[in-house]
Structure 1
């Protein structure tokens, strides 16, 4: 019986992989939401955070394609909060060659600009090869990230390969991902829910805190919570100030940062985190964050080209 069930599940997964590229975007998103969150979404009158994100997947603002491009967004960040908060670039080659590989330092990070999870950390170049990295790079560059989850603003982004400095703290550890869910302000100040993902490339754990670093009884997605909550990052007030300044006028956005030894580096801007299919545990937070999203949406204005060019206050 168990083997029959496993066979059926495998068959269903295979059928889904084969069919998902053929079905329309809205149907794909509805089915994905049902599969991962456990219910069919309401797109006409969204109430949950995930439902609002699904709407964004289908109806993106034009400039999200620029701000979600991990290379193009650097000019925006430079103008808003300063170049010192950008991770130093090592190379952005038109073509990845053995000569480019030879010129790279011993430690670096290989990425592409056009989607999620295209990240390869190299701590010792002697442990890899041009052939190995090029095989991975070409697979990334060939992937149409829009087709993966139907986030339409990724469709216009031209895939580019790039290499940047590997961030480590004084102890030689790769810093945690600080994922700042930015919901604007209320009378008490910024509304921020910060997820922190530690040991992302080992045994990852995820925890969520409010702006006052109160640990929430909340798990998002597939990351288990830590047994001992991580400490507040150093210079938290400065992190909040810079984050608020950077995303001012953009509506809801998730801002990813890295803070090795208290120095603040920009990671990326994500306008549709989880592509609208990230389960919340407990589920009530999906509705609570949905209300915050609704409050923000009522105040949103489209981002114009001048705002992007100048990085000025909206």
Structure 2
């Protein structure tokens, strides 16, 4: 039903679904593919000659800011050492193992609690809070499928294209108080953090909430795809350290999001993301797409 509504409202979806169904998308040039996607998601033309909005500039960066070091920065395994060299090993979530396939994992050697995810994508995380109740068959099916998938093809987020898919296991971290583990996502523009957002209520039936804050920890008056929670959460204890580390990690980069966890009096690095929402998530009101877009200063020289 959603597909039918999309096609009625925007016929460009017909071409997009055709490309996906016939796998022609696999040989479609990145620039052409991104132009079509932009038409589908926003029902308007993608301006690559003079991009203005945040979402437009993310598409430009996909095409023209292809520094080789970005590859290891999005690899869930390789990024750990990269970040440790800049901010310190003590802020890295410990790795318990890394394997080419699910059947290589010796679960007898893992603790009762752990986290599994693929190194080359987003959204493949599996949390085990109790190994005695863990559904190994479901985990195997999910991770085996994710290992076959390309995170590059659907979105043209090029750094993922050349990462060898593996499964990584990390230490399970939680808040001993029983509170939800929050991740703080700092948006850094040309090496300077201008704002951040916090993800809440991931496991609630009502779904994910995303709250944006400015650098004074005041709520910002917009939403991006997800509704805000309507509540003001406390400023994290390590806020200043998070900003400092975010700016160190984003030096000389037009835009990158730097994620952190704060739990039990400790600060942990989460991940680096160059294209949040792949640049397809709408802003409400729309003017904030352009306000955040104005914060990205695109490089003069293109790197293909």
TM-score where L is the length of structure 2:
0.87
- Check conservation: 2:259, 2:272, Cα contact below 8 A: yes
Q: Distance in 1 between matches of 2:50 and 2:31?
A: 15
1:4 to 1:131, Cα distance in 2 relative to 1, 3 A: closer
Partner of 1:250: 253
**Deviation digits for residues 155-202 of structure 1, max 9, x if unmatched?**
1111110111121112234411211101146xxxx4421010012233
* Range with greater deviation from structure 2 (241-250 or 92-101): 92-101
- Check conservation: 1:81, 1:242, Cα contact below 8 A: yes
- Check conservation: 2:99, 2:105, Cα contact below 8 A: no
1:4 to 1:161, Cα distance in 2 relative to 1, 3 A: closer
For this pair of structures, how many residues does the alignment match? 293
Q: Distance in 2 between matches of 1:293 and 1:128?
A: 44
* SS of residue paired to 2:139: helix
What is the aligned counterpart of 1:35 among 40, 43, 56? 40
Does residue 216 in structure 1 map to residue 216 in structure 2? no
Q: Distance in 1 between matches of 2:112 and 2:17?
A: 40
Q: Distance in 2 between matches of 1:95 and 1:65?
A: 21
Partner of 2:165: 159
1:299 to 1:252, Cα distance in 2 relative to 1, 3 A: farther
Unpaired runs of 5+ residues, structure 2, are: none
Does residue 100 in structure 1 map to residue 106 in structure 2? yes
Q: Distance in 1 between matches of 2:6 and 2:202?
A: 31
Partner of 2:181: 175
Q: Distance in 1 between matches of 2:28 and 2:39?
A: 15
- Check conservation: 1:256, 1:269, Cα contact below 8 A: yes
Partner of 1:241: 244
Q: Distance in 2 between matches of 1:6 and 1:34?
A: 15
Partner of 1:269: 272
Q: Distance in 2 between matches of 1:136 and 1:4?
A: 25
Partner of 1:309: none
1:263 to 1:184, Cα distance in 2 relative to 1, 3 A: farther
Partner of 1:79: 85
Partner of 1:307: none
Shift of 1:224: 1.0
1:286 to 1:3, Cα distance in 2 relative to 1, 3 A: closer
**Deviation digits for residues 277-304 of structure 1, max 9, x if unmatched?**
121111111111111102xx358998xx
TM-score where L is the length of structure 1:
0.84
- Check conservation: 1:67, 1:73, Cα contact below 8 A: yes
1:81 to 1:49, Cα distance in 2 relative to 1, 3 A: same
Does residue 53 in structure 1 map to residue 58 in structure 2? yes
1:23 to 1:37, Cα distance in 2 relative to 1, 3 A: same
Q: Distance in 2 between matches of 1:8 and 1:120?
A: 34
1:271 to 1:99, Cα distance in 2 relative to 1, 3 A: closer
* SS of residue paired to 2:198: strand
Shift of 1:24: 2.9
Partner of 1:198: 200
Q: Distance in 1 between matches of 2:120 and 2:4?
A: 37
Q: Distance in 1 between matches of 2:274 and 2:5?
A: 36
